[in-house]
Amino acid sequence: MSAPSTLCALHFGGQGGFAAVLGVVALVVAGPVRAAFASPPDAPHAAPVLGPAADDSNFGQRMRMHRAEAEGRHHHGLPDLSAATAFSATAANFGALFEQAFRVEHQEATVQVAPKLPGLAVDVTATLTVLEEDISSLTLRSEKVVIESLVAEVQSGGATSPATVTYAEQFGQIGVVQIKSTTPLLVGDVVVVRARWSATLDCNKQTTLLRTCTFDDQFWQVLFFRVFFDHAAALHAPHTSTLHIETPADRVAAAPGTPLGSTPLAGGKLRWSFEQTERTEHGGFSIAPYVVTGGGPKPNTSAPWLRLLTLGTYQGAAKGLLTSVDSMLGFYGQRFGAYPWPGLSIIQVANNFGGGYAPLSGIFMLRNVFGAQPGAGGWTSWSELTAHEVAHQWWGNYTRPMATADVCLSESLAEYSSCLYTEQTLKSRAQLVEDSLSYLYTVAPADDRPLSSATVYQSPAYVQIVYHKGAAVFEMLRHEVGEAVLAKGLAAFAASFARDYARVSDLRAAVETASGRDLGWFFKQWFQQTGSIQAELAARVVTEADGSLTVRLRVAQLSKTPLRFRLPLRLTFADGEVLETSVEVAPPPDGFVTVVTLPVAKRPLIVRPDVTRTLLRRFAVIDGADVTLDGLVDGVDLMESAFRRGRRIVWKGNFFPSASWDELFDADGSYVVDDADMSRIFDMAGEEVAVAF
C-alpha cells in the first residue's frame, strides 16, 4: 500500500494476515448455523502437484531430502536447520519439510453462508500422510466451531480402518481435533479426517485495518476465518486444496486459485469450485453479483490468465485496472523472475475493507479501486495500492518470511516494489517520499522497533515501520549497490527461495553475492536498529593553495548512534550546469562529525543534499535560512523557499504527505513552510554565514 497512507494491505505471506502471526481471531459462536450442509462434490479433485522447482534451488534440494525422510532413510536431518532448536516445530517451506509426525497433503471444503446470522456451514476433508514410525495420535487445529459430524479413518497397506476422533475447545477461541489410531501408525500411512461444522462470525473483528468478514446487500466475504484445518504442531504447514462455495443462482463466488466453473445444484443453487495445486492454506472467498472481465485458464498457453470480478456498474471502468495489472506483472517479471502462478483473480470487496489482501493467485481490494480511471483523480493512489498487492505474488507468496522478524521480506519488499513501479511507469517519486515522511514525522521513539524485530507487530506504528520505513530502507539499498545489482540480487533470492520460507539473512547473502560486497553494516544499521539519519549540514567552497576548488561538506550527526550512508548531492553552477553526485559519509569511530571534500572544476552557486529524498533522513543547517548550503542567505534561498511556502506536513496531529516537503525550508522548525520562514530569510538576506569546520 501507499497513498492514501492510511489504507494498508496488512498481508503476511498470503496465509491469513495477522491471524497467522498473532493467533486466531476470536469469534463468537452463538450456536449451530441452520443452513443445510452440501453433499460432497460429484467429481474428485485434481491430483495435487507441487509447482516446478529447479533441482539446484534451495527448495529442490530440500525436497530431495524430504523424500528421503519419507522413505525412512533418515528424519529431521536438515543440516541448515538442525541446530536451530527454535524451528523444531516449524515447517521449513511449502513442502512442509520440518513438520513433526505427519504432513497435510490436501484439503477439500464445501462452504455455505448464512448472511443474516452471519455464519458458515462447512464440509471439510483433510488428507494426511504419516512421517514417523510408531505414533498413534495426530492433532489438527481449527477455528472455534460447532461440530455436527466428525469421523476419521486410517489407510494402511491397502486396508482401511476407523480411527477415534474428538474435538475440544482451547483457550476459548480455537478448536483442537485429535485423531487416535487403534494400532501404531507407519510411515506412509494415510489418515483422512471428515468434519461438518458451523460457526457464527463476528464481523466487527478486524485484522488491524482489514475486516475479517462482511455481510451486506452486495458482498458476503469471509477472508480471515480458518475454513481448513491447520497442522497443530507446525506454524508453516500449507497444503493443496479444493474450495467449493455454494451460492444462490443470482450470485457468483470468487476465491484465489484456478477457477473450475460452477455446477447447478438442487433448489436453483450453484456450486463454484477453485483449485489450489500449490501449497497454500488460504480459504477466503467472496460472494456477490459479480461480472467477470478477462478470462480463466486457457489450453495451449503458458501466459498467466487474468480476471477481474466486479459489480456490474464497475465493469467498464475496471478494464483500465486489468491493463495496469498486466503491466505490473510484466514489470516485476523482468526484475524478479517470471510470474510464478497459472493466473490471477482480482476481486472487488466492500469499502469497509481497509485496502487490499493478496493470497496466492488472488487479490482482494476495496470497491473504489475498481472505479479509478487512468489519468483521473485517485488513479495514482489506487495504482500504488494495486502494485503493492501484485508484488505480493512474489514477496509473501513465492518467497515467504520464516518468522515475525522477517515480515519485511513480504510487506517492505512489496511496498518497495510498488514504489519502484510508480516511479518508473508513472514518473513520480511521491510514494517513496511520502513513505519516508510518514515514518520520520509520526513514529514516536517509544513506538519504534527495528525492521527485524520479533515484536514489530506489537508496535502501534507497525504500518509506518514495516511498510513505510521498510520501503525507504530498500530504496537506500538500491542507492548503495545500484538498481541493476539490487534487481539481480532480488531475482536470485526469489529463485533460490521459490515456494520456500526465508530469513533476512538469506536476502542479505543474495545481495552480497550480486554486489560482491560485504553489506553486514547496512543490514545491521537498517534492519536491526531503530531510527533514521539525523544530521546538521553545512557547506562551503574552499580555494586550495594551488588554485583548485573544493566543496567541503560538514555532516554533524545528531542521533545517539552515528550512521554510515552515501549522501546524494546536487551542485548548481553559475552557467546553469547541474552536477548530480554522491559522497560517502562514514563517521569516525570516536565522533559524530564527518567532513567530506569534493573537488570541483568551477565554483558552485548552490549545494543541495538529497534533493530527491533517497535517504531516510531529517536534515538541519547551521543557519536555518541558508537552505542552499552555499554559505550565504540570499535571493536563491528566497526563491527556493517561496516555492514551498505554505506547504504543511503536520496539522492538528495529522500527517499530510507532500512530495515537495523538505525540512531545510522550514527555518523555524515548525514543520510548516510559511510566512515566519520567509520573514527569517528576508531579514538575513545577503548576510554571509560563518561556517566552522
- pLDDT tens figures, 564-577: 999 999 999 989 99
59 shares its domain with 143: yes
**Grid coordinates representing 21?**
502471526
335, 490 in Cβ contact below 8 A? yes
> How far is CA 301 from each of CA 149, 297, 306, 368, rounded to the nearest angstrom?
43, 9, 13, 32
99 shares its domain with 69: yes
Q: Which residues contact 389 (CB under 8 A, 6 or more apart)?
A: 9, 11, 356, 357, 358, 363, 365, 414
Domain that holds residue 485: 400-527
158 shares its domain with 250: yes
In a domain, 379, yes or no: no
484, 477 in Cβ contact below 8 A? no
pLDDT at 27: 24
pLDDT at 93: 45
Considering 477, 496, 527, which residue would you say is the last residue of a domain? 527
Q: What H or E segment, with its residue span, contains residue 423? A: helix 411-425
- pLDDT tens column, 442-463: 999 999 999 999 999 999 999 9
pLDDT at 22: 26
- Gap between the Cα atoms of 282 and 227, Å rounded: 8
Number of domains observed in the structure of the chain? 3
In a domain, 221, yes or no: no
Q: Which of 655, 151, 246, 156 is nearest to 433 (CA)?
A: 655
654 shares its domain with 544: yes
482 shares its domain with 542: no
479 shares its domain with 553: no
Q: Which of 458, 373, 475 is nearest to 417 (CA)?
A: 475
- Gap between the Cα atoms of 102 and 129, Å rounded: 5
Residue owning grid cell 500527517: 655
- Gap between the Cα atoms of 22 and 172, Å rounded: 15
| b/e per residue 164-189 (b: at least 16 CB within 10 A) | ebebeeeeeebbebebebeeebbbeb
**Grid coordinates representing 175?**
478448536
- pLDDT tens column, 41-63: 333 333 333 334 455 555 455 55
476 shares its domain with 619: no
Considering 505, 527, 549, which residue would you say is the last residue of a domain? 527
582, 573 in Cβ contact below 8 A? no
In a domain, 98, yes or no: yes
In a domain, 455, yes or no: yes
Crossing angle of helices 430-442/411-425, nearest 10°?
140
543 shares its domain with 450: no
Residue owning grid cell 489450489: 276
CATH number at residue 164: 2.60.40
In a domain, 9, yes or no: no
CATH number at residue 627: 2.60.40.1840
Q: Which residues contact 165 (CB under 8 A, 6 or more apart)?
A: 150, 151, 152, 177, 178, 179, 180, 193
pLDDT at 208: 65
In a domain, 351, yes or no: no
In a domain, 427, yes or no: yes
What DSSP string runs through 383-401? Answer: HHHHHHHHHTTTBTTTEEE
586 shares its domain with 639: yes
522 shares its domain with 550: no
Cis omega (within 30 of 0) on the bond before 118? yes
Q: Which residues contact 1 (CB under 8 A, 6 or more apart)?
A: 7, 8, 9, 355, 356, 384, 385, 388, 415, 418, 467
58 shares its domain with 164: yes
In this prediction, the residues of the chain whose per-residue pLDDT falls under 50 are 1-53, 59, 66-67, 69-98
pLDDT at 173: 84
In a domain, 331, yes or no: no
pLDDT at 75: 33
- Gap between the Cα atoms of 424 and 429, Å rounded: 9
Considering 506, 527, 548, which residue would you say is the last residue of a domain? 527
| b/e per residue 626-662 (b: at least 16 CB within 10 A) | bbbbbbbbbebbeebbeebeebebeeeeebebbbebb
pLDDT at 58: 52
633 shares its domain with 514: no
